[in-house]
C-alpha cells in the first residue's frame, strides 16, 4: 500500500525574521509572498488587526496552493490601543521610540495556519508585554544608527542591540516578539497534519 505523501508546507511571508525562526523547526518548506494590503480599518484594535492580517496572508497564499498547509503571521505594536506598524524610515523610528520610552507596549503577534484542501484553519494570538527604559534622545539616535530596524514594528530588534532599550519582556511564547510564536505555530502545524518530530529513515 502506498504511503500518504507528506503535506507541502508554505510560509506566507516576505519576512527574513520569520524564515529564520521557522528554520528552527527543521521542516522542509517553501516561501511565498502573500501580497496583502496591511492598512488598518478605522478604529480597528491592534490585536484584531494582527489576527486579520495573519489570516489574510495565509489565505492569500492558500488560494494559490490549496493542497498546501500555509502559515501566515503578523505583528502590531499596541501603544494604549493605538497600532504602531513598521516605521519605514529613520525619522519615524525616532518618533516611535520617543513615544514608547518609559512605557509598556504590547506587541500583538498573530499566527494563522490554513489548508484549503482539508478545510483546516486555526489562528492564535501571542501578546508580548514590553517595557522600554526611559531612553534619552542620544540613546535612541545611537541605537537607530547602529541597527537600523526600520522594517520592525516598534523600531527595535530584541534579538540584537535592541534588547538594551528594554526593562522587561513578558511572554509565554519566547519567539513571538521576533515575529513568529513557535510554540503556537508548532501546535497548529501538528493539528494540520505536519509532523515535527518524526523519525527520519535512511534512504
Cell numbers describing residue 26: 527543521
On whether the CB atoms of residues 86 and 77 are closer than 8 A, the answer is no
Catalytic: 134? no
Rounded-to-integer distance, Cα 29 and Cα 65, Å: 13
On whether the CB atoms of residues 78 and 105 are closer than 8 A, the answer is yes
CA–CA–CA angle 183, 188, 194 (5° rounding): 105
- Three-state SS sequence of 7-45: CCEEEECCCHHHHHHHHHHCCCCEEECCCCCCCCCCCCC
Burial 97-108 (b: 16+ CB within 10 A, else e): bebbbeeebbbb
Give the burial class of 65: count Cβ atoms within 10 A of its Cβ; 0-12 exposed, 13-18 middle, 19 or more buried.
middle
Catalytic residue among 23, 74, 78, 134, which? 74
CA–CA–CA angle 190, 152, 183 (5° rounding): 20
Catalytically active residues, by annotation = 74
Amino acid at each position: 500500500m502506498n504511503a500518504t505523501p507528506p503535506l507541502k508546507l508554505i510560509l506566507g511571508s516576505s519576512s527574513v525574521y520569520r524564515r529564520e525562526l521557522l528554520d528552527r523547526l527543521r521542516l522542509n518548506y517553501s516561501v511565498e509572498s502573500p501580497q496583502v494590503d496591511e492598512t488598518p480599518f478605522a478604529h480597528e484594535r491592534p490585536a484584531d488587526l494582527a489576527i486579520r492580517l495573519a489570516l489574510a496572508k495565509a489565505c492569500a497564499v492558500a488560494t494559490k496552493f490549496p493542497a498546501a498547509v500555509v502559515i501566515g503571521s503578523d505583528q502590531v505594536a499596541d501603544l494604549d490601543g493605538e497600532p504602531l506598524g513598521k516605521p519605514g524610515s529613520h525619522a519615524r523610528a525616532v518618533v516611535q521610540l520617543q513615544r514608547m520610552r518609559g512605557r509598556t507596549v504590547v506587541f500583538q503577534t498573530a499566527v494563522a495556519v490554513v489548508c484549503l484542501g482539508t478545510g483546516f484553519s486555526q489562528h492564535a494570538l501571542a501578546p508580548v508585554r514590553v517595557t522600554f527604559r526611559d531612553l534619552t534622545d542620544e540613546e535612541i539616535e545611537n541605537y537607530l544608527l547602529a541597527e537600523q530596524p526600520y522594517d520592525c514594528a516598534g523600531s527595535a530588534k530584541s534579538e540584537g542591540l535592541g534588547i538594551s532599550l528594554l526593562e522587561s519582556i513578558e511572554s509565554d511564547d519566547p519567539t513571538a516578539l521576533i515575529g513568529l510564536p513557535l510554540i503556537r505555530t508548532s501546535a497548529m502545524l501538528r493539528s494540520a497534519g505536519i509532523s515535527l518530530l518524526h523519525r527520519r529513515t535512511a534512504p
